[in-house]
Chains A and B, each alone.
Chain A
Amino acid sequence: MKQLEAARKRAEADWTKLRESQPLVMVGTATCGRSAGAVEVLNALAVEAKRRKLVVKFIEVGCIGSCYSEPIVCVQRPGEPAVVYGNVDTKSAVQIVAAHLGNGEPLAAHALGTLGEGSFDGIPNLWMQPFFRPQVRRVLRRCGFIDPRSLDHYLATDGYKGLEKALSMAPEAIISEVERAGLRGRGGAGFPTFRKWRFCREAPSEQKYLICNADEGDPGAFMNRSVLESDPHAVLEGMIIAGRAIGASTGYVYCRAEYPLALERLRASIADAESMGILGNDVLGSGFSFHIEVKEGAGAFVCGEETALIASIEGHRGMPRTRPPFPAISGLWGKPTIINNVESLASVSLILQNGAAWYAEVGSEKSKGTKTFALVGKVRHTGLVEAPMGITLREMIYDIGGGILDDKPLKAVQTGGPSGGCIPASLIDTPVDYDSLNALGTIMGSGGLVVMDEDTCAVDFARYFLDFARQESCGECVPCRLGTTQLMQILEDITRGRGTPSDIDLLVEMGEAVKKGSLCGLGQTAPNPVLTAIRYFREEFEDHVLRNRCPAAVCKEIISAPCMHACPIDTQAATYISLIAEGRLAEAFDVILADNPLPSVCARVCHHPCEDKCTAGKWGKPIAIRALKRFATDAAKAAGIYPDKKREPRRGEKVAIVGSGPAGLMAGYQLARSGHDVTIFESLPVVGGALAVYIPAYRLPREQLADDIRHIQNAGVQIETGVTIGVDISFAQLRERYRAIFIATGAHAPSAMRIPNEDAEGVIPAMAFLKDTALGNEISIGKRIAVVGGGNAAIDAARSALRTRGVEQVTILYRRTRKEMPAFEEEIEAALEEGVRIEYLVAPVRVLADSGRLEGVECLRMELGPLDASGRRRPVPIEGSEFIVELDTLMPAIGERADTPFLPDSIEKTRWDTIATCSETFATNLEGVFAGGDVVTGPDTVIEAMAAGKIAASMIDRYLRGDPVRRSYSFVRPSLYLPGVTLTDEEIESADRPKMERIPVSRRIHHDVEDEIGLARDQAVAEARRCLRCDLETEHACEALRRQAGDAP
């Protein structure tokens, strides 16, 4: 004990001297740092310091946990706060030496934060950074701040004080202290540590063993490794204390051989502790003896299970055995044995040092203390985190984790690794503690948190985790060996589009049986990922098995290519792109036309969901698919190609379509081609509905629209304009004259802002303004215009207003920030270019009117509050921030509603006034009457309306043929496979998404001048060649290509 006291004094003095005598540079060289290049950075720092003849002390430390900022370097000059730098490379290392060490000026651009007293301009305190602020660092407190190979550093930072205390206590008193602290096993199951210890203590045996389970094997988990690499003595200290408590004289650390650095540091630390008398016979003169041996495991996941681990130490194949007897009664070599996780043991030294009360200060009622987590997946800030038990997942993901990458919506979080389950976004306010997680069907596990965004397929991620458990199953018991494989095969089938409707129930049934029937924890938890995925994402499973859809566009055998799968009308994007890449433009247009009678329209106004799912966009920029479509369409039309599609023989069934918008036109075209006599009734004098009256002509020139409509008419569709149902023909007459009716009248009724005076003169709905503009009606809106809203309609209105005579200033008022704005990015940019002002975080609260005439609008400033259910932060008004905008015209563009006064009461509607239809078949409650598009969904996109028209047409066709009106779902498959292209090195080097050019702002003064300039041929071909050709990765494609190759001479 005396020897330790002296050593500690010396260590403390050295520790102080170390920081006061010379500049200190600490480099995180744990495995994580090394893989990011920390060793090279350390070299670069040292070389540069030497070159500059600077006297600097370098220390290799462990990891502070912010993986996203590796390699990490901490620089401290005597008397100054330390600065922690992140993402240091050899180049910035040189800069850091020059600036900070050389000139005493920290490099703010690379700094993560400062540590200690004092501050530097422009560098926040590290602990105030979002990643660190919510954390409570106890187990990790030394990680990254001491040299893990130095016993002195450990002693200088209160190391082995817990042991000193423990040696003065009776073993039972140690156990009671741990009991009061409320420590539960950090390995995952959360069994009260003291209880296990007491069983063992009371077991009658001369020989007992303690085992530290360092067999961390979950994918994405590295908590234990970090602690072992960064603070190994903390684990040894906990082991000695635990050994004393349970009456063991021998301890084993069972650590996988894949952790060479941890093993090396453990062994060195054991040797140091032995030479100091902390380990060995007569620990610190207390009369208690304790020896620690390191056992290397071969990396079998099942060896994390207590009994399998014991078998492995005994030299057998790592197979678990049935409990009881529990290891605490009969474990290693048949003797009472306690197995504790690394983190539990590291916590034990803290509890003894600081007392149970201190330990239990943080945490939730039934889960005390802190827990380390490995936060990985689609979050900005991945890393090793220590937080109080009971922290919510939301805090974990959005505060510590900094939110989802690319601001995509959160889908789910997997806790507990492959033994755990997922928690959907809707439940992320769940506190993270043992019992709350169990209630959701998952487990805490050792603390892995894998964050998933909407691009993650629920079936696929369940498959991923199950596959791990399946491969790691020891194969001993039947349910685990065969059950996990069976589950896996079913999931595999589902992801390949071979699932059957009963498979989902089978998965649940089998999963439950595997849980109940398996011998050890591996099998008992292996089905969790599947069961929770089904519990929270059953619909997604059903999409796969019932509808051949993978909403996340992940399961390639179902989707063929994400772009094709994402297209609501099944456009073969990959096919026409590959044709463009070969310069076969006419064929490309043919492919476009095959599924889309409105190519000119979609080439300009489609919101291109294809591009959102484009695989190229996952690592770079997505392929400019819409621009390619426009290129092919323009090129074909310029060459005079616009082939009529073949019609089926006429059959004389009469169909009426009400409304000539995208849904009506699509339905009419499809029905006409199927041989039916189709008449579209349009109340306006122009054809095209929203396409003709809401989308400004500078975006969709009317002659382009006319080309597509002509094509549709050529297919045999009759269009009668100026006919209003309910005025010119009654709905009843329509039903008498036509065997089937498709209602596609859209949504036109403006939504109210629900603020005072909104009926004042000068408040014009944006859609009304756009329509008047489109129809060439006389408009007078004054000089100062404001548009309320953030969608495409708001931008269209604002940009159209700019093009209206007399207008001087156009302002958009939007209550969130640009990040949340739903309008197309390029449209917002064009608006800004043209001089539209956008006021973000602003909400109108009152229309100011004088004698019924608009004078302005009073607004409130907003700030973003907590997240709402959609994962977006909710705007919250700032009190007293009122301000007034003076205006001549105010245009609300906050959405429209369906407007169906012409329909009889007998047709069923929803409470939003939309027509109620069967979601699958679009049939209304009236025989032979179908409805689709915005009149059913409320305002939506052009392509969704077209999709509705297409589906409704096929349902009407079935109805007319007397077939059961039922959807059938097939895989999206290209009609043609072209082999991939090989890019030259230069091409690869220069490959980038082309920017769609616009005409200069100065020329954008007319409504009807198209502002976007299409791609040039070489641009288009280069872009098409950039396509990753996901369509070729399916079995179907491989087979087709093989056949083609075989056919070739």
Chain B
Amino acid sequence: MSEHIKLSIDGLEVVTQKGRSILQAAGEQDIYIPTLCHHPDLKPAGVCRTCMVEVAGRGLVISCKTPVEEGMVVATDSPEIDSVRRTAVSLLVTNHHDDCIGCAADGHCALQNVASYVGVTRDALNRLRRPTRSVPVDTSNPFYDRDMDKCIVCGICVQTCKDLVGVSAIDFAFRGYDTTIAVPGDKPVITSRCISCGECVVRCPVGALIPKSRELPARLVKTICPYCGVGCGIVLGVRGNRIVNAEGNRDCATNAGILCVKGRYGHGFVGHADRLKTPLIRRNGKLSEASWDEALSLVAERLATYPGDAFAGLSSAKCTNEENYLFQKFVRAVMGTNNVDHCARLCHSPSVAGLAQSFGSGAMTNSIAEVADAQCILAIGTNTTAAHPVLATRMWAAVQRGAALIVANPKEIELCRWATLHLRQRPGSDVALMMGMARVIVDEGLHDRAFIAQRCEGFEELQKSLSHYDLDWVEKTTGVPKQKIAEAARLYATRKPAAIFYAMGVTQHTHGTDNVLATSNLALLTGNAGKPSTGVNPLRGQNNVQGACDLAALPNVFPGYQKVTDDAIRRKFEAAWSRPLSPTPGITHVEIFHAIHAGRVKALYSMGENPILSEADANHVREAIERLEFFVVQDIFLTETAAFADVVLPAAAFAEKDGTFTNTERRVQRVRKAVDAPGDAKPDWRILCELAQKMGVTGFDFSSPKQIMEEITSLTPQYAGITYERIETNGLQWPCTGPDHGGTQYLFAEKFSTPNGKAQFKPLDYRPPAEDPDEQYPLVLTTDRSLYHFHTSSMTGRVEGLVAAHPEERLMINPIDARALAVADEELVEVTSRRGNTRVRAHVTEICPAGVVSLTFHFANAPTNELTIAALDPVAKIPETKVCAVRVQKTGA
């Protein structure tokens, strides 16, 4: 219970909570106290001195930093206050180069507001001396400019960068009047480690930090960011039919207003000239424009000739829940096959497979907001600041509150700056590492015996299997000193609540499922499951990869992970859809291409996927596509894959349609239309409906996504309680089983989703990666993501600023390897694997350990996946894109 405090402000009796500042107490009563350096997201700085008030018996104090006390008598204005305030404000205005007319902040400038409140007059200013310093505007950043002449050195940007984002790219520099905000060396900001998240820009109270795009929106539309799985709420600013900017949605539980560079500045692709505007049909080997009627008739006609398993569909983790539902319904109900999958296969299929075994359900167990309250965070195989930047800020918050952060990653990623420990395991040795930790925990008796006894099964088997993980062997296998492993184990086992986060570094292996099981073993051993701020938390890569899985863009289940092999379930769907359904699970993503090669699949329908770049061993994929008899691609751009299609259907982008996305924490959130799609492009759900109708199938006469959602909830128990009305302002986290169910913040509070409700320990054997380096291919190639790009860059590659920030592929290579190969930084090299080769420039850096090189897969002109190996995890069928053997050579040109 919080204590109440009574005080008087300007003669008004005010009751507030203990611990509040005078400024907060006044704000609660709508009593205005001017401030310039205060921001509700940040700790009070107390440097602008304009929030000064008078407390009886104490004199002048700054209200932002003075806590309320019982019986305090506060005056927010007096001649003395006025003299201090007026002086401070006059000084700032005078030093501000007085350029309101040309200033982007004009009209919403805090200095203007405060100056007008205080009543700073031109006469008063004319008595003062003008500034002696003027610096040119720093335009080096692709997204925002820094005009230090307008800076009032309030420090909000510094605090934002340091405390909120954890980057500390900027800080105070110099002394006295020369004090300014600068990056190291007072160089242009682009040279710093600024991640262009723009959080400082939105918080700048004046016009010192200004977005490059300064057009003001005419209306605002709340929707969800189309990039990673964090699912940040964004507010699109729209003018005419154009998106002019994006802001974080402060009401959104996921991000509370925080955005990353892509979320804030990455929407230029929506209105890009490259957008597909009409359907295209291949005529004489060339794609040419066609009408919807022509195109859909053609598709309907051709698809009718490939019923059943000769057909396969690739759904899209970028499309809405409704569209994924419709797509799999189309595949199952119209085409009569379960051959539907999507790219989750290439990222988190081991999570689904692994966590289903141990917990009974494969999704992030806990919530994003809980991260900040964890006492220990094990981040393994996740480059969180690059791939899930906004979630990383919650990790930073936890670290600032004293949490231990253990980073397990072969590369010295940005996250290591905050880390208590960095375990630099060899790529592919994760099982050894985590089982080694488990061994320490059990050996030292740090496991949670009560939890294990009450809620788990299989501990003895696990304990037995741990005997293989002698720490000396673990050290040898992982390359991590055993003391460090032990230290990590102790931290993880003793600092509770402890949460595990992982991403592709864990899953994209031939032993990806084992890796996932290793994480759940650790969580179960220490009782870190079924409680807030604990759990095993796979970080999903795409905005709606969770939803695409939930809504069954998977070959083995109906929506809500209801097995296709379960007769009762199947009958339920047959009844609902009025069609007979196949009882045989379909084939997976990689298997589809094998099946094409084998001639079993002849027609493929790809909605929003670009496998030619995203799939491991891409050459193999391209050859498969070339073998297809009929290939339909539905997308917003003519992607590398679409170029091979027989028919291309132009789709609407995320901002051009309504629907829902489900983010990585299982939160179903509303997506809203902000602008009209270009030309004849249509939302994917509408295209699917029209096609099905063309094929004469009923059950596709939806007039809105809302209607589709109603059908979804009627068939999917974990979505049962979700309606558009309920998620109008904030999403709901599944399971949400009924209209009165408030959603589930963290899973397994009472019981696990396994048949008997108990979590399962899984003994594990260590298996090395499929392809070890050898004399011919001596280096390990691992793949990574850039903060500035997304997936195959079909979107980010069309945003000018993002391209400027990260224009081309770079091979990260350790100086030791570079020296051995006589490769200099920026030098062009050829990277060759058994499957292909690519040419890129080298980036010599210690981020990569010796023996390991790294590439992203964002660039079509340097297709990394032509190098990777399609060796599959036996359970999840995910290819091992994180490890393959390569050779690096200098090239002539």
- Chain A positions within 8 Å of B, measured between CB atoms, are 300, 302, 317, 319, 321-322, 470-479, 481-486, 489-490, 493, 500, 502-503, 506, 509-510, 512-514, 516-519
- Name 11 A/B residue pairs within 8 A (Cβ), A-sorted: A473-B176, A477-B47, A478-B88, A478-B91, A478-B152, A482-B91, A485-B176, A489-B132, A509-B87, A513-B86, A517-B85
Shortest distance between the CB of B125 and any CB in chain A (Å): 11
Name the segment of B167-175, B269-277, B612-620, B784-792 touching the other chain: B167-175
Contact B48 A477 (CB under 8 A): yes
Interface pair A519/B177, CB less than 8 Å apart: no
B83 and A476 form a contact (CB under 8 A): no
Contact A300 B175 (CB under 8 A): yes
With A475-B174, A478-B152, A516-B83 as known contacts, state yes or no: A483 contacts B46, CB within 8 Å.
no
CB-CB under 8 A for A475 and B49, given A317-B171, A489-B129: no
A318 (CB) vs chain B CBs: closest residue: B175
Cβ A513 vs Cβ B84 within 8 A: yes
Count A/B pairs, Cβ under 8 Å.
Answer: 110
| B172 proximity list for chain A (CB < 8 A) | 317, 319, 475-476
Residues of B within 8 Å of A510, CB to CB, are 87
Q: If A478-B48, A483-B91 touch, does A513 touch B177 (CB 8 Å cutoff)?
A: no
Chain B residues closer than 8 Å to A484, beta-carbon distance: 176-177
B83 touches A513 (CB 8 A): yes
Decide: A470 near B47, CB < 8 A? Known: A483-B87, A510-B87, A517-B87. no
Q: Are A519 and B46 in contact (CB under 8 A)?
A: yes
Residues of B within 8 A of A493 (CB): 129
Question: A509 to chain B: which residues have CB within 8 Å?
Answer: 83, 87
Number of contacting residues on B, CB 8 A? 37
Bound-complex Cα distance A503 to B349 (A): 75
**CB distance A476 to B177 under 8 Å?**
no
- Within 8 Å of chain A (Cβ to Cβ): is B65? yes
CB proximity of A475 to chain B, nearest CB, Å = 2
CB distance from B279 to the nearest CB of A (A): 61
Residue-wise, chain B 297-332 has the 8 Å CB interface mask toward A (1 for contact) of 000000000000000000000000000000000000
CA gap between A470 and B132 in the complex, in Å = 14
Q: Are B132 and A478 in contact (CB under 8 A)?
A: no
Among B37-90, those with CB < 8 Å from A are 46-50, 52, 60, 62, 65, 80, 83-88
B672 CB to nearest chain A CB (Å): 42
Shortest 6 CB-CB contacts between residues of A and residues of B: A475-B179, A513-B87, A489-B129, A482-B91, A517-B84, A485-B177
Residues from chain A with Cβ under 8 Å of B749 in the complex: none
Partner of A471 from B83, B84, B175 at Cβ < 8 Å? B175
Select from chain A the residue with minimum beta-carbon distance to B49. A517
Chain B's nearest CB lies how many Å from the CB of A518? 7
Near A by CB (< 8 A), chain B positions 201-230 give none
Please give the distance in Å from A867's CB to the nearest CB on chain B. Answer: 40
Assuming A478-B47, A516-B60, A516-B83, is B179 touching A486 (CB within 8 A)?
no
A512 proximity list for chain B (CB < 8 A)? 83
Task: Indicate the member of A319, A481, A484 with the most B CB atoms within 10 Å.
Answer: A481
A519 CA to B171 CA, complexed, in Å: 19
Residue of A478, A502, A510, A518 contacting most chain B CB atoms (<10 Å): A478
In the bound complex, how far is the Cα of B175 from the Cα of A512, in angstroms? Answer: 22
- Among the interface residues A322, A475, A518, which one has the most CB atoms of the partner chain B within 10 A? A475
A513 vs chain B, min Cβ distance (A) = 4
How far apart sit A493 and B127, CA to CA, in the bound complex (Å)? Answer: 12
Contact (A474, B175) CB under 8 Å given A322-B65, A513-B83, A519-B47: yes
Q: Which of B94, B127, B171 has the most CB of A within 10 A?
A: B127
CA–CA, A513 and B118, complex, Å: 15
B: which residues have CB within 8 A of A? 36, 46-50, 52, 60, 62, 65, 80, 83-88, 91-92, 94-95, 127-129, 132, 152-153, 155, 171-172, 174-180
Q: B177 touches which one: A477, A482, A516 (CB < 8 A)?
A: A482
Cβ contact of A481, chosen from B36, B52, B86, B179, cutoff 8 A: B179
Residues of chain B lying within 8 A (CB to CB) of residue A517: 49, 52, 60, 84-85, 87-88
Distance in Å: Cβ of B79 to nearest Cβ of chain A: 11
Chain B positions within 8 Å of A322 at CB level: 46, 62, 65
Say how far A473's CB is from chain B's closest CB, in angstroms. Answer: 4
Known pairs A475-B179, A486-B91; list 7 more (Cβ under 8 Å): A476-B155, A478-B36, A479-B87, A484-B177, A506-B127, A506-B128, A517-B52
Does B176 lie within 8 Å of A321, measured CB to CB?
A: no
- The chain A residue with its CB closest to the CB of B37 is A478
- Complex interface: chain A residues within 8 A of B84 (CB): 479, 513, 516-517
Q: Which residues of B contact A489 (CB under 8 A)?
A: 129, 132
Which residues on A sit within 8 Å (CB–CB) of B62? 322
Interface centre among B36, B91, B180 (most CB of A within 10 A): B91
Q: How far is the CA of A322 from the CA of B127 in the complex (A)?
A: 30
Contact (A479, B83) CB under 8 Å given A317-B171, A319-B172:
no
CA distance A470 to B128 in the complex (A): 17
Q: Which residue of A lies closest to B171 (CB)?
A: A317
Q: How far is the CA of A471 from the CA of B172 in the complex (A)?
A: 15
Report chain A residues within 8 Å CB of B180. 475
Chain B residues contacting A502 (CB-CB under 8 Å) are 127
Whose C-beta in chain A lies nearest to the C-beta of B175?
A475
A503→B36 CA distance, assembly (Å): 28
A300 to B84, CA, bound (A): 26
* B residues less than 8 Å from A519 (CB atoms): 46-47, 49
What is the chain B residue whose CB lies nearest that of A483? B91
Residues of B within 8 A of A478 (CB): 36, 47-50, 88, 91-92, 152-153
CB nearest neighbor in B for A323 = B65
Tell me which residues across on chain B come within 8 A of A471, comparing CB atoms: 175-176
Which residues of the other chain, B, contact A483 by a CB distance below 8 angstroms? 87-88, 91
Rounded to whole angstroms, the CA-CA distance of A471 and B65 in the bound complex is 27
Tell me whether A479 and B127 are in contact (CB under 8 A): no
Closest-CB distance, A500 to chain B (whole angstroms): 8
Please give me the residue from chain B that is nearest to A502 by CB atom.
Answer: B127
Q: Are A514 and B176 in contact (CB under 8 A)?
A: no
* Alpha-carbon distance A517/B84, docked complex (angstroms): 6
**Which residues of chain A are within 8 angstroms of B48 by Cβ–Cβ distance?**
477-478
Instruction: Answer whether A476 and B129 are a contact pair too, CB < 8 Å, given A510-B87, A513-B84, A517-B52.
Output: no
CA distance A405 to B87 in the complex (A): 41
Across-interface contacts of A475 in B (CB, < 8 A): 153, 172, 174-180
Whole-angstrom distance between the alpha carbons of A517 and B633 in the complex? 67
The residue that A482 contacts in the complex, of B46, B85, B92, with Cβ under 8 A, is B92
* Complexed CA–CA distance, A472 and B153 (Å): 16
For residue A505, which residue of chain B has the nearest CB? B127
B177, A481: Cβ atoms closer than 8 Å: yes
* Residue contact A470 to B176, C-beta cutoff 8 Å: yes
Residues of A with C-beta under 8 A to B155: 476
| Interfacial chain A residues near B80, Cβ < 8 Å | 516
**Are B46 and A472 in touch, CB under 8 angstroms?**
no
The complex places the Cα of A486 from the Cα of B80 at a distance, in Å, of: 20
A317 surroundings in chain B (CB, below 8 A): 171-172
Contacts of B91 on A, CB cut-off 8 Å? Answer: 478-479, 482-483, 486
B129 touches A514 (CB 8 A): no
CB proximity of A215 to chain B, nearest CB, Å: 15
Q: In the complex, which residues of chain A have a beta carbon less than 8 angstroms from the beta carbon of B153?
A: 475-476, 478, 481
A474 with B179: CB separation less than 8 A: yes
CA distance A478 to B85 in the complex (A): 10
Distance to closest chain A CB from B85 (angstroms):
8
CB neighbours of B132 from chain A (8 A)? 489
Please measure, in the bound complex, the distance between the C-alpha atom of A540 and the C-alpha atom of B620, giving whole angstroms: 91
**Chain A: which residue is nearest B172 at the CB level?**
A317
In the complex, what's the smallest C-beta–C-beta distance from B81 to chain A, in angstroms? 9
In the complex, residue of chain B having the shortest beta-carbon distance to the beta carbon of A517: B84
Which chain A residues lie closer than 8 Å to B128 at the CB level? 486, 506
Residue numbers in A under 8 Å from B52 (CB-CB): 517
By a CB distance below 8 angstroms, the chain A residues around B179 are 473-476, 481
Nearest CB in chain B: distance from A233 CB, A: 35
- Which residues of A lie under 8 Å from residue B94 when comparing CB positions? 482, 486
